[in-house]
Amino acid sequence: MSAPAMFDLAGRVAAVTGGNGGIGLGIARGFAEAGAAVAILARDEAKNHAARDELIALGARALAVRLDVTDRAALAPAMAEVERELGPIDILVNNAGIARPVGATRGELADWDRVIETNLNAAFILARLAARSMIARRRGKIINIGSEYSLFGNPIAHSYSASKGALIQLTKSMAVELAAHNIQVNAIVPGWIESDMTAPMKSRPFYQEVLRRTPAARLGTPAECAGAAIFLASSAADFVTGATLFVDGGYSIK
Amino acid sequence: MDTGSASRRLFDLTGRVALVTGGNRGLGRAIALALADAGAAVAVLARDEAKNRETLDALRARDSRALALKTDLADRPQVANAFATVERELGPVEILVNNAGFAILKGVLEQTDEEWDQVLETNLTAAFRLSRMAARSMAARGRGGKIINVSSIAGNFGTPVFPSYAVSKGGMQQLTRCLAVELAPHNIQVNSLLPGWFTTDMTDWIRNWPEYAEALKEMIQRTPRGRFGEPDELAGAAVFLASRASDHMTGSDLVIDGGFSVR
């Protein structure tokens, strides 16, 4: 197998939650360019359609499914729609995530619940649905998008940190459980990436602090997360499971 | 629409010059061939001349501009000469893979000073010296570069079987992190590959020696994937870390072990 061909995703079906913007759309674009059929599962219909049209323009079969991942009853039907429209799922990216920077002592429990439901519970439920489908074909890739706060303490978004830390442990446990079925489960930890989620920080002193602490001295781009996702989704990573790839310009090791 | 072409460009290494130490056998050979498959010109620095010739033929069969230099990584002047030869013959090194390494199967209590020094010299110090040569060359040209240190999951665990090897690999991961921070302003990315158990000569003892039969059983049982990796299964990760696809990754550990480490 020639090296670039081993990264080819032609014929594969991928679903990306929160895939209509930011890191999720960067990954969806990368998958489309690598030849995969791509489903975007996200809330905002206008952004969904724009993202879908962009993927189609890249030459991919693409689908946008309107989904609020906290609506548990909607998760299985959404996955069923992806499989009906595009085919059995080969690649799931749990990327949808929210943060509620309200502080541990002040925040409402409803904030905590919302964050854990979106970032962790939905990822688990979708991964389980995908795995059940993948087991039948003895092949599959699940990629969970963690965060620097999977590792580090966050002064205002404790629920975000807790959910993202747990997502890494979920990654490891599902990797161990599903290895016998030739399903690989891995995580990507993006550092500070240009997106709607990080845009507000640019006006704060914290932005300079991040730049100083990041050896690469810049934010990453959603496209730079795509390379790692394509690698993990491809046959080039068939012996990689339970691992976490850091796409962070060195932030976490300084 | 040519679906896939953009992605192929992302991992393409056409025109790049790569140097792989210990690239004539095992994981190093698989990495060298995969880099050539992705379009790179590849130089192999290793000791065994017959294996060098065989690898050189395999590289040239892939249309790679290639070079194999008989080099003992513990011989400092020889390594410096070999590096200069690679840059003269193939061009400035843009991808360095520090892969050469060996293990001595002796606990700390039985190990001699000489054995310890040999392992550290080949596995760690040679990687430091070559990284320095490559980084100076890369920084001088100002076009960035990639350094890949082939460490091992042994760098993350304690072991009574090959402690000097494990220490050298743990040191290599720290070398990766320190170089990553220092070289980031030059757009040079430095990452570690951490293979688990693969079917190479280096693991012959656990796979085939009767006295390690129990260790083999335990190792397979502990590995979620339930088997050894094949060298080809590591090669893609090296291509990824050598390519544009990993331009925002630096200082990281990429573990390829069938899940061994997370169980």
- In a 13 Å sphere around the CA of B255, the CA atoms on its Cβ side amount to 23
- Are the beta carbons of A167 and A144 closer than 8 angstroms? yes
B1 has a pLDDT exceeding 80? no
- Closest alpha carbon to B64 in B16, B8, B6: B16
User: Residue B3 has what pLDDT?
Assistant: 46
Binary contact (A242, B11; C-beta < 8 A): no
Enumerate the residues of chain A whose CB falls inside 8 A of the CB of residue B4. Answer: 8-10, 33-35
User: Residue A3 has what pLDDT?
Assistant: 60
Spatial distance between the Cα atoms of A35 and A9, rounded to a whole number of angstroms? 5
Mean pLDDT, residues A65-82 taken together: 98
**Of the candidate ranges A102-106, A119-123, B141-145, the one whose mean pLDDT is the lowest:** A102-106
Q: Which residues of A205-225 are buried (b: 16+ CB within 10 A; e: fewer)?
A: eeeeebeeebbbeebbbbbbb
- Report the percentage of chain A scoring pLDDT > 70: 99
Mean pLDDT, all residues of chain A: 96
Catalytic residue list contains B212:
no
Spatial distance between the Cα atoms of A211 and A206, rounded to a whole number of angstroms? 9
CB pairs under 8 A between A and B: 186
Cα nearest neighbour of B180 on chain A: A250
Mean pLDDT, residues B227-235 taken together: 97
Question: Which residue segments constitute the domains of chain A, with CATH numbers given?
Answer: 4-246 (3.40.50.720)
CA angle A197, A200, A206 (to 5 degrees): 105
pLDDT tier at A2 (50, 70, 90 boundaries)?
A: low
Binary contact (B251, A235; C-beta < 8 A): no
Task: Quote ipTM for the complex.
Answer: 0.93
Of the candidate CATH numbers 3.40.50.450, 3.30.300.30, 3.40.50.720, 3.40.640.10, the domain formed by B5-254 belongs to: 3.40.50.720
User: Residue A1 has what pLDDT?
Assistant: 46
Of A30, A234, A247, the CB nearest to B249: A247
Cα separation values, A209 from A148, A254, B1, Å: 15, 13, 43
Best mean pLDDT range from A72-81, A102-111, A195-204:
A72-81
pLDDT tier at B117 (50, 70, 90 boundaries)?
A: very high
Spatial distance between the Cα atoms of B179 and B170, rounded to a whole number of angstroms? 14
Spatial distance between the Cα atoms of B130 and B146, rounded to a whole number of angstroms? 13
Residue carrying the six token digits 């949808």: A96
**Of the candidate ranges A158-172, B3-17, B180-194, the one whose mean pLDDT is the lowest:** B3-17
pLDDT tier at B230 (50, 70, 90 boundaries)?
A: very high
When computed from its CA atoms, the radius of gyration of chain B, rounded to whole angstroms, is: 18
Distance from CA of A156 to the nearest CA of B (A): 26
